[in-house]
Amino acid sequence: MDMGNCALCGARAETLHHVFLECSFSVLIWQTSPLQSAWRDRDTRDLAGWIEQILLCGDRQKVELLFMILWNLWNERNTVVWTAKRRHPCEVVDGAMRLLHEFKEHQPTPSLSISRAQAKWQKPPLGVIKINVDGAFQGLTGMGGGGIIARDSAGCFVAARACKLSHVSSPEHAEVLALREALLFAKDIGPGPKLIEIDAQGVLHSVQDAQEDRSYLSCLFSDCKFFLSQLENTSIKLAFREANQAAHRLARLAITLPETFTWLQDPPDAVCDVLVEDIL
């Protein structure tokens, strides 16, 4: 399919193969993406064959990211054609990862039946501390925040932490950093059974998956698996976003703070109303 000169680089005839694999702009996108090895190590002379090779690798996360980057790359090409405005390749990759993360977060969980009761925060069993965690990402600054809050079986406040995160590249990056901080936080508040709740389904899947994660966040997922293994009687489960509002508030607050802050006796003002609503 020949469409004239390439809108992105102007150096070659614009074919689909050129736009997605050979264009100098596209090459920079693949080189800065988590799919760098898939672009470098596989035969790229045939677009359909290259896509098929990645589909056959069996890595669902790679396949999902592949199509999101292709879609974002084509949108970038159209934006250049119609507005003559272009983004840096890193922005295209970050945008693709952010869209994929947001799409996953808004998909219903097949194993859970959605109800108002499940969408509300629930008290943990007697003797168990429940720790809710959430991550927040600010794309323009590369800053992030982690919100962590612990409550007992009566719904009473135990402790909370707002973690200042820097050099954050995506919402998923913020979520896994926040989870790692929550696992360290769980150790800090002492022994006893704990239940950690997170509303990032993709992050939870990667931590619970026995197979090694191969994404650019693999080291962080490995940290989370290790820290979890060091905690006795501690489990992680998925929470609906509506049941994770206290942690979400703290995550957003953390972005505005100069440094990480911990509350050990009285809860922060930013979540007092949520704590009351959660136990009503």
- Say which CATH number the domain at 220 has: 3.30.420.10
Tell me whether residue 117 is in a domain: no
* pLDDT at residue 52 in the model: 81
Residues 147 and 252 in one domain: yes
* pLDDT at residue 1 in the model: 42
Residues 143 and 239 in one domain: yes
In a 10 Å sphere around its CB, with 0-12 CB exposed, 13-18 middle and 19+ buried, how is residue 13 labelled? exposed
Tell me whether residue 83 is in a domain: yes
Tell me whether residue 118 is in a domain: no
Domain range for residue 86?
2-105
Residues 272 and 152 in one domain: yes
Tell me whether residue 157 is in a domain: yes
Confidence of residue 41 (pLDDT cuts 50, 70, 90): low
Q: Which residues contact 162 (CB under 8 A, 6 or more apart)?
A: 145, 146, 147, 148, 250, 251, 253, 254, 257, 260, 261, 262, 268
Tell me whether residue 123 is in a domain: no
Say what the alpha-carbon torsion angle 193, 149, 101, 61 is, to the nearest 10 degrees: -20
**Collapsed DSSP state (helix, strand, coil) of residue 262:** strand
Residues 91 and 147 in one domain: no
Give the count of domains, the chain. Answer: 2
Residues 100 and 40 in one domain: yes
Write down the residue that tokens 């009285």 correspond to.
Answer: 266
Residues 86 and 193 in one domain: no
Residues 159 and 261 in one domain: yes
H helix intervals, the chain: 16-17, 24-32, 36-41, 47-56, 60-83, 89-105, 171-188, 201-208, 218-229, 245-256, 272-279
Would the pLDDT of 2 be above 50?
no
Domain end, chosen from 36, 70, 105, is at 105
Angle at 277 between CA 273 and CA 279, to 5 degrees: 125
Residues 137 and 247 in one domain: yes
Per-residue pLDDT reduced to its tens digit, 128-140: 999 999 999 988 8
Question: pTM of this prediction?
Answer: 0.63
Write down the residue that tokens 């672009």 correspond to.
Answer: 39
Residues 263 and 136 in one domain: yes
Tell me whether residue 261 is in a domain: yes
Pairwise pLDDT comparison (85 vs 214), residue with the higher score: 85
Question: Phi/psi class of residue 275: alpha, beta or left (left: φ > 0; alpha: ψ in -120 to 50)?
Answer: alpha
Per-residue pLDDT reduced to its tens digit, 223-261: 999 999 999 999 999 998 889 999 999 999 999 999 999
Residues 273 and 135 in one domain: yes
Residues 244 and 171 in one domain: yes
Residues 199 and 238 in one domain: yes
Tell me whether residue 113 is in a domain: no
Domain end, chosen from 71, 105, 139, is at 105
Per-residue pLDDT reduced to its tens digit, 83-127: 888 888 888 888 888 888 877 776 655 554 455 445 789 999 999
Would the pLDDT of 71 be above 60?
yes
**Average pLDDT across the chain, whole number:** 86
Closest by CA to 33, choosing from 47, 15, 21, is 21
Domain end, chosen from 72, 90, 105, is at 105
